[in-house]
Chain A
Amino acid sequence: EIVMTQSPATLSVSPGERATLSCRASQSVSSNLAWYQQKPGQAPRLLIYGASTRATGIPARFSGSGSGTEFTLTISSLQSEDFAVYYCQQYNNRVAFGQGTKLEIK
């Protein structure tokens, strides 16, 4: 079973600044990695799949990188609507989510 570990658990960043979120897999998942955003009281929304491909309608300020076991989600200039919880998910071998990173306003 693949275990996904996200860091940090909470990230405090000011609007307009860059946020960098990390995700590590316990074994290689190739590029079969997705990122989701979840706001309070809402279902998650797909942001990135294939480690670096933005989903339909996702702004260009969201970017993903990495392969194998190390992945990064970068939000280049934080907008107020970006403060939320972010989850990574591997789909190389069944499915597993990370525990989430809460992105909060500094």
Chain B
Amino acid sequence: QVQLVQSGAEVKKPGASVKVSCKASGYTFTSYDINWVRQATGQGLEWMGWMNPNSGNTGYAQKFQGRVTMTRNTSISTAYMELSSLRSEDTAVYYCARGDSNVLTGPWGQGTLVTVSS
């Protein structure tokens, strides 16, 4: 079946970087965009950006410009989201989601909890 499987939970110190992976299966990886959305505990959804796995083109939310990098490895159908200069406010569950023209049609990954703590 069509699914996205994300890497496991991470604990990072302030100032460090984190790289979350999102492995696609059940469909042609290069045919659909991958979006990244995060959600702090008890809070709403926050869009971080998108990537076209075919071209590698990306678009980032202004808030994360300069701090986020979205990449892919098409040979293993995996997308990556790297966030640098982590601070406590970055503690959240990070989701990848398959999209089409920025509609997050799904599926979504199961989420990756990133905890930033000294």
A-B interface contact total, Cβ < 8 Å: 56
How many angstroms from the CA of A105 to the CA of B44 in the assembled complex?
20
Q: Which of A55-106 contact B (CB under 8 A)?
A: 55, 87, 89, 91, 94-100
Task: Establish whether residues A97 and B44, one from each chain, have CB atoms under 8 Å apart when the complex forms.
Answer: yes
Task: Establish whether residues B103 and A91, one from each chain, have CB atoms under 8 Å apart when the complex forms.
Answer: yes
Contact of A43 among B44, B61, B101, B110 (CB under 8 A): B110
CB distance from B2 to the nearest CB of A (A): 12
Give the chain B neighbours of A46 by CB distance below 8 A.
103-106
How many angstroms from the CA of A34 to the CA of B95 in the assembled complex?
18
Query: Interface 1/0s, chain B 94-112, versus A by CB < 8 A?
Result: 0101000111111111110
How many angstroms from the CA of A91 to the CA of B33 in the assembled complex?
14
Give the chain A neighbours of B105 by CB distance below 8 A.
46, 49, 55
Task: Establish whether residues B108 and A100, one from each chain, have CB atoms under 8 Å apart when the complex forms.
Answer: no
Task: Establish whether residues A43 and B109, one from each chain, have CB atoms under 8 Å apart when the complex forms.
Answer: yes
Q: In the complex, how many residues of chain B place their beta carbon closer than 8 angstroms to a beta carbon of chain A?
A: 23
CB distance from B58 to the nearest CB of A (A): 12
Task: Establish whether residues A87 and B104, one from each chain, have CB atoms under 8 Å apart when the complex forms.
Answer: no
Give the chain A neighbours of B107 by CB distance below 8 A.
43
The closest CB in chain A to the CB of B102 belongs to A91
Query: Which residues from chain B sit less than 8 Å from chain A, CB to CB?
Result: 35, 37, 44-47, 50, 59, 61-62, 95, 97, 101-111
27 pairs, A vs B, C-beta closer than 8 Å: A1-B62, A38-B45, A43-B95, A43-B108, A43-B110, A44-B45, A44-B97, A44-B108, A45-B106, A45-B108, A46-B103, A46-B104, A46-B105, A55-B105, A87-B44, A89-B47, A89-B104, A91-B101, A91-B103, A94-B59, A95-B47, A95-B61, A96-B47, A97-B45, A97-B47, A99-B44, A100-B44
